[in-house]
Structure 1
Amino acid sequence: MTIAIHVSGDAKAAVQAQVPVLVGDLVASGITALNPTLWGSAAEAEASKRLGWVEAVSVSRPLVAEVEALRAQFLSAGIDHFVLAGMGGSSLAPEVITKTLGVELTILDSTAPEQIRAALDDRLASTVLIASSKSGGTLETDSQRRAYEAAFRAAGIDPATRIVIVTDPGSPLEAEAREAGYRVFLADPDVGGRYSALTAFGLVPSGLAGAAIDELLDEAEAISLNLAEDGDENFGLILGAAIAGTSPLRDKTGIVSDGTHIVGFADWAEQLIAESTGKDGKGLLPVVLDVDSPELAERLPDVQIVRLVADAHEFHLRERHPGEVLISGSLGAMLLTWEYAVAVAGRLLGIDPFDQPDVESAKQAARGLLDARPEPEAPSFVEGGIEVRGTAGVVSAEASVRASVDALIAALPADGYLAVMAYVDRTALPQLAELRDLLAARSGRPVTFGWGPRFLHSTGQYHKGGPATGVFLQITADPGADLAIPGRPFSFGQLIQAQAAGDAAVLEQHGRPVLRLNLTNASLDADTLLSALR
């Protein structure tokens, strides 16, 4: 199976209007030929060093044997538990690959101390840590690696036998890792993180965990010719036009998993779309939905629904979903098709799909807070164990969490969205994800949900650089027990709190309404919050 796609309504009209123009402009063959001029002169410098993903299938082929040999070496030594420390594209692609292909890979993309400790306590004697960072300086990944190095040494294990590094050539991490004797895999530097699914960042962790990465590359290769051809049947052109070419623009993309065999694909696509398109006051906001999410019943005029199904043609014949995009395909084919489609969407929107100008702002704010260590801002009020803070106008005079959430919803513009940002241990508080549907039903508008700090490498770019139509609900939690970061003057608990506070500060500087709820007793207060909003 490669790809099948069905469009109707505004999406079909967009395809009929835009694809012939894209074909005439030789966009598909231009992308395949690594033409950096397709997104305008302002984007040319960045695009000239960010199109390597087009050649990822052929470039990555030699990795397969190397990864399989290293996995066999680990297994022969009784080492069979694989943990990935990575953020953004470094973790989201391996997560969807391994979940879909049914192999175990522990994803460590958090700085919540409880989540780090739980990972360290899980089968350390038979664990390999794969630390992935394109820049080589990702603070979260560096902190996680330091924790594992210390844990290995404390257990009498040489970290050089248990740590694998994936990074770009010439990064600070490469030099440090080689000096430490770690096994190093170098990725293509001409590929941005969110486009790196079929490079070393996606394949090394997945292959070490046992995924059949050669078959994944075969699936992507099978669709490559279609994606390279300037024709009306090019799936990348069709999908790109359907999500970014509607008139007026439906600038929210609701992604629904409805029968697809691919597990967690919408979470990977969320980063690809948001970080690629959310800038210059423009963008497509990806909204990850379930089959019964309120947005589907609302039929909002600014939301384009994309439904991931088992077979798009059969699904279309069996069920009517007017105005929606139905798409199906093998995992490798879907990864490459969506990469092409989002590059096409960038051209249609008139933005550079390869930069991320606003991602760094929250990082800098967090670093500043870690250096300065200011006293925490006093809450406006406390209800139960929930401390309430926020920008002007969203903290209720009634001193009620529910009333404050209602005030935040009231601040939504007619074309707006609400973003829930949960800087907590997602393995311990999965129930917080229920907030998404609760708030979508209460607001009648699209709601996104992101686990912090991982969403900072994803929708975090859209929040600051995209249309100024968002309102933000931030949830933090006091750590039950903090955890030191070896060699750093701050702990994991201090790091995640600084990341949350820095993110809120940048949003406030951009004039975005922000309501901040801190849970002083995480599990108890999470349930209290959900009860207050039901």
Structure 2
Amino acid sequence: MSDMISVEIVHSPNTDQVDAIVADLVGAAVPSKLTAADPTLWGPDAESEAAIRLSWTTLHETSRPLVAQIAELRAALHADGVDRVVLAGMGGSSLAPEVITATAGVPLVVLDTTDPAQVADALAGDLHRTVLVVSSKSGGTVETDSHRRIFEKAFTDEGIDAASRIVVVTDPGSPLEAASTEAGYRKVFTADPHVGGRYSALTAFGLVPAGLAGADIAALLDGAAQASEELAKDADDNPAVLLAAVLGAAHAHGAEKVVLADTGSGVKGFPDWAEQLIAESTGKNGTGLLPVAVEGPDAPGFVDAGSDATPVAIGPAQGNAAVATAGSLGGLFLLWEYATALVGRVLGINPFDQPDVEAAKKAARSLLDAPQSTESAPSFVDGPVEVHASGDWLPAGTSTVADALRALVAQAPAAGYVAVQAYLDRLDDASTAVLRPELARRTGLQTTFGWGPRFLHSTGQYHKGGHQNGVFLQLTGDSEVTVEVPGRPYDLGTLQHAQALGDGQVLAEHGRPVLRLHLTDRVAGLAHVVRAAQEVSAQEVGR
């Protein structure tokens, strides 16, 4: 993996428009102004938000003191026999650390789920060797607060001083900082409050869990520092300018999807991190770029991308790639952050707010407050699968999962997309992800896959605020495990179910078709759904 960042434009049908966007961005000195944290770049409506969201451009310098602090804490924990790191965090608090540690080849247990079995699996590890990192800007994130409560009780039940095993990352002055200090937790790191969650890879949110797990975070910052010089230049070969121009020009011609495939970059899982950055930053006001993370350059959606999508390689240009981005992980983080902020200007939106994220959270909370009213009778039952459909788009008399899937994709326009949303166990139910390439191959539609509820803190913004041409397949399932949330009137299974229903309700209110398949037996039900997906064809789309 080269340290130098680069953007290679392999082919673009809109060369003149790309050149015009480059000339506009460079002529207005946007890269250097962005580096200098100029909040006026996205217009007056965005200025107040941008004024408190631009410190990420200099994190390669301002985060340096964290390197020694994290190393000192890691050494102290190891001296106590504590070398297993569990991270409780959602969205930007978990996606970057997961990429950093996977790329470094060091273990990190990531809890960005409310699935009781997956949380129980994390609890089953050796708690005497475990430190829990609780990452949340405010502390109010329901998933992360639940994880903290669960682990605090588990430590105590094992005779472990819970406070000595909890490390917190939060914003200065947050309710979580005050509560953590009062509780006497092992260490409280405060991050730069002028950085939004999806731009926080190089803040304490990204560095603390990754560094405690053993990743070389100094090298990560070095890579970003090297890239920063190129990205700040007002020049037509600035990699971020080129990337933003290609994506902006493609969007103007109907290519609102960005298909991301790793092509041997050496970085593990980068498309999953980029998903949140792109979707939350651009997916609003009925416009935006929909990121589609795929399995590789030969995957459906990438190898056969149509005119509604731009295939982007993370690594060397391969196959059908229109653009290729390469460099060190720190450099790639910064490259994509710059390019996303720049494309926000091109699209005429504020890349730093997320106006539609809260809607699903509110709906879930209301369902938790009235648990008896959360479940309606299924439209029908097909073996181990209960079928629930929003609205009235499902034809009367539908009786099989295959026919329900056919009816769902029939609601999608030719340039629409399918979003598969699995509120299941990311470890035990990993084969669920086969549905993404299966549906993409058979329907010809760009197809995304997200684990719930983590995607709610990522692509969930685009689903409600971006182009309204998606259809949604939710997967939920019975669990054999119950995990109570101490101090709360619900268990994790109830919370997970409310999150699925809440998001489905908000999507339906936006006029989007939602099909929820509830697996009464997860193994048999999933096999049944996969077989049903194999019966869908491109002829069903927009029928």
| Correspondence list, 1:365-404, <5 A | 365-375=363-373, 376-391=375-390, 392-394=392-394, 397-404=397-404
Query: Is the contact between residue 519 and residue 526 of structure 2 (CA under 8 Å) also seen in structure 1?
Result: yes
Deviations 1:401-430 (A, max 9, x none): 000001000100122111001011111100
Within the alignment, does 1:109 sit opposite 2:107 as a pair?
A: no
1:531 aligns with 2:535: no
Deviation at 1:12, TM superposition (A): 4.7
Q: TM (normalized to structure 1)? A: 0.97
Match runs of 1:185-200 below 5 Å: 185-200=189-204
Aligned to 1:133: 136
Deviation of 1:320 after TM superposition, in Å, equals 6.3
Aligned pairs for 1:213-228 (under 5 A) are: 213-228=217-232
Unmatched runs of 5 consecutive residues or more in structure 2: 535-543
Aligned residue in 2 for 1:277: 282
Residues 203 and 372 of structure 1: CA distance in aligned 2, closer, same or farther (over 3 Å)? same
| 1:11–1:324 Cα contact (<8 Å) kept | no
- Structure 1 residue aligned with 2:298: 292
Query: Does 1:362 pair with 2:367?
Result: no
- Aligned sequence identity (%): 53
Distance of 2:27 and 2:254 partners within structure 1? 22
Q: Tell me which residue corresponds to 2:538.
A: none
Where in structure 2 are the equivalents of 1:2-21 lying within 5 Å? 2-7=4-9, 8-10=11-13, 12-21=15-24
Shift of 1:462: 0.3
Comparing 392-401 and 135-144, the one that deviates more: 392-401
**Alignment partner, residue 541 of structure 2:** none
Is residue 394–residue 513 contact of structure 1 (8 Å, CA) maintained in 2?
no
Deviation at 1:9, TM superposition (A): 1.9
Asked whether the 8 Å contact 2:4–2:327 carries over to 1, the reply is yes
2:258–2:290: 8 Å Cα contact kept in structure 1? yes
Q: Render the CA deviation track for 1:74-96: whole Å, top value 9, x for unaligned.
A: 11111110000000000000000
Aligned to 1:335: 333
Deviations 1:18-71 (A, max 9, x none): 111100011001101100010011101100000011121111000000000000
Q: How do 1:56-205 residues align onto structure 2 when only pairs under 5 Å count?
A: 56-182=59-185, 183-205=187-209
1:359-390 superposed Cα distances (whole Å, 9 cap, x missing partner): 00000000000001134200011111100011
- Alignment partner of 2:269 out of 258, 264, 268: 264
Answer whether contact 2:255 2:310 (CA < 8 A) is retained: yes
SS at match of 1:295: coil
Once the two structures are overlaid, the 10-residue window that deviates more, 352-361 or 410-419, is 410-419
CA RMSD of aligned residues (A): 1.2
> SS in structure 1 opposite 2:258?
strand
* C-alpha distance in 1 between matches for 2:280 and 2:319: 32
1:430-483 deviation line (CA, Å, top 9, x unaligned)? 010000011112211100000000000000000000111010000001111211
Going from structure 1 to structure 2, the CA distance change for 1:3 and 1:395 (only over 3 Å counts) comes to farther
**Counterpart in 1 of 2:312?**
306
> How far 1:397 sits from its partner (Å)?
2.2
In structure 1, give the amino acid aligned to 2:96: A
Please give the alpha-carbon distance, in whole angstroms, between the structure 2 residues aligned to 1:287 and 1:299.
11
8 A Cα contact 2:261 2:302, kept in partner: no
Task: Select 1:231's aligned residue among 235, 240, 243.
Answer: 235
Q: Which region of structure 1 is more displaced relative to structure 2, 239-248 or 121-130?
A: 239-248
What code does the residue aligned with 2:347 have? Answer: L
Q: CA deviation at 1:206?
A: 0.3
CA contact (8 A) 2:385 2:519 kept: yes
Measure, in 1, the Cα distance between the counterparts of 2:114 and 2:491. 9
**Bigger CA drift: 287-296 or 420-429?**
287-296
Separation of aligned partners in 2, 1:158 and 1:320: 54
CA separation of 1:320/1:267 partners in 2, compared to 1, >3 Å: closer, same or farther?
A: closer
Counterpart code for 1:2: M
| Equivalent pair of 2:405/2:532 in contact (CA under 8 Å) | no
Q: CA deviation at 1:395?
A: 5.7
Provide structure 1 residue ranges, at least 5 long, that are not aligned to the other structure: none
Alpha-carbon contact 1:394-1:514 (below 8 Å) kept: no
Paired residue secondary structure (1:467): coil
Amino acid at match of 1:194: R
TM superposition shift of 1:523: 1.8
The one-character-per-residue Cα deviations of 1:86-125 (angstroms, maximum 9, x if unpaired) are 0000000000000001111110100001111110011111
How far apart are residue 11 of structure 1 and its match?
A: 6.2
CA distance in 1, matches of 2:139, 2:486: 18
CA contact (8 A) 1:295 1:446 kept: yes
Aligned to 1:51: 54
1-structure distance, mates of 2:328, 2:340:
18
Query: Hey, what's the Cα distance between the residues in 2 that align with 1:78 and 1:89?
Result: 29
> How many equivalent pairs are there?
526
1:129-174: CA deviation from partner (whole Å, max 9, x where unpaired): 0000012211000000000000000000011110000000111111
In structure 2, the CA distance between the partners of 1:249 and 1:230, relative to structure 1 (3 Å rule), is: farther
2:298–2:319 Cα contact (<8 Å) kept: no
Most deviating of 394-403 and 328-337: 394-403
- Give 4+ residue runs of structure 1 displaced > 3 Å after superposition: 11-15
